[in-house]
Amino acid sequence: MSAEKIIGEWKKGSFKPVYWLEGEEPFFIDQVVNYAEHHILGESEAGFNLTVFYGKDADWASVVNACMRYPMFAERQVVLLKEAQQMRDIEKLEAYIDNPLKSTVFVVSYKEKKVDGRSKLAKLLKQKGELLTTKKMYENQLPEWAGNMIQQHGLSISQKALFLLVDHIGNDLSRMQNEIEKLAVNLGSRKNITEDDIENYIGVSKEFNVFELQSAIAQKDLSKAIRIIQYFEANPKAAPIQLVLPALYNFFSKVYMLYGLSNPDEKSVASALGVNPYFVRDYMGAARKYDYPGVEKLLLLLHQYNLRSVGVHDASTGDAGLLKEMTVKIMS
């Protein structure tokens, strides 16, 4: 069951006695925990019936004792165990999970880790409660996810603006949510997010960003690429080299995959590369500018300059110097 479905069940008044939230993506775990803490109980009920523990400071016996209490002046109580991955002897919760109190909603936040699926605890969680395992969102899923969140705010966004937003923030979903909420506030009565809005309110230049550098290199437009790198040099926080090189490698590694496709129409390319169909032409255009050996050479250069950027065989050249040198070699 997803975070959305769990919260949806709670809104309908349907509760299980135990919810174990685990995995790599904290956004969905925090989403469920926040709802449990602030919305399951009414304000007057929470004073008597909401208990919050933190794994680092809690012991299993205190947690179990809290879970075994009956609610006061309410139908149920809520017990939260946050940062449970830091709790010692957490396996001792098994006895309670095997026989939980139905009037208690016990929510466990177990971030960055997962319970061994073969363990007794995992089997108990599936039998007696709800186990939510989260994963980091893949790059190709981000535009759709961000677009849906924007729609939930009653807004729309241009494709280019959406790409700038996603490319700048990446898969930090909590930050993505905050930035979208910031945009919603600043738009006022307007409903469409433009590239100018991303530039003005998020701080990403619509002309000088990683996407535009990637596009310039893909089109073999050296003068444009150098202008963008010079902007990065004057504004070091705009696009550090540790952000630029992986983005370029990711793009051109997908271009490299194109040469192995037997049916290179836009629909099949989008499916094979796992990218938004809107951007397929960018990859196909790059494949026309660079032949197979050219892309191999480009990927090798990216690897070499990544090593140099962390001081391997080069302790003195600045980031902008490395990018300029690499870009000239790529296009030569």
Residues 276-327 pLDDT 10s: 777 888 898 999 999 999 999 999 999 999 999 999 988 789 999 999 999 9
Does domain 210-331 fall into CATH 1.20.272.10? yes
Task: Report whether 90 contacts 60 (CB < 8 A).
Answer: yes
CATH of 3-134, one of 3.30.70.260, 3.40.50.300, 3.40.50.460, 3.40.1280.10: 3.40.50.300
Residue 274: left (phi > 0), alpha (psi -120 to 50), or beta? left
Alpha carbons 17 and 106: distance in angstroms, whole number:
6
What is the Cα–Cα distance from 117 to 254, expressed in whole angstroms?
34
Q: How is domain 139-202 classified at the architecture level of CATH?
A: Orthogonal Bundle (1.10)
pTM metric for this prediction:
0.76
Q: Is the dihedral of CA 66, 69, 74, 75 positive or negative?
A: positive
Distance, in Å, from the CA atom of 156 to the CA atom of 159, rounded to the nearest integer, reads 10
Domain ranges within the chain, ordered by starting residue: 3-134, 139-202, 210-331
**Confidence at 3, pLDDT banded by 50, 70, 90:** very high
Question: How do residues 220-256 score in pLDDT, each as one tens digit?
Answer: 999 999 999 999 999 888 889 998 999 999 999 999 9
Per this entry, what is the length of the chain? 332
- Under the banding of pLDDT at 50, 70 and 90, the label for residue 54 is very high
Cα end-to-end distance, the chain, whole Å: 52
The more confident residue out of 163 and 264 is 163
In the predicted model, is pLDDT for residue 17 greater than 90? Answer: yes
Mean of pLDDT values over 57-82: 95
Nearest-CA neighbor of 17 among 65, 79, 72? 79
- List of residues 6+ apart from 226 with CB closer than 8 A: 324, 327
**Residue 204 in this model has a pLDDT that exceeds 90:** no
What the block records as the tokens of 299 is 């990927």
At 262 the pLDDT is 79
| Nearest CA among 81, 50, 45 for reference residue 63 | 81
Q: What is the CB neighbour count within 10 angstroms for residue 117?
A: 12
Chain centre to alpha carbon of residue 122: 26
- Number of H helices and E strands in the chain, helices first, is 17, 7
What are the helix (H) ranges across 188-291? 195-197, 210-218, 222-234, 241-258, 266-273, 280-289
Q: What is the DSSP string of 142-161?
A: HHHHHHHHHHHTT-EE-HHH
Q: Please give the share of the chain, as a percent, with pLDDT higher than 90.
A: 69
Residue 163 has pLDDT above 80, yes or no: yes
- Rounded to 5 degrees, φ, ψ at 110 are -120, 75
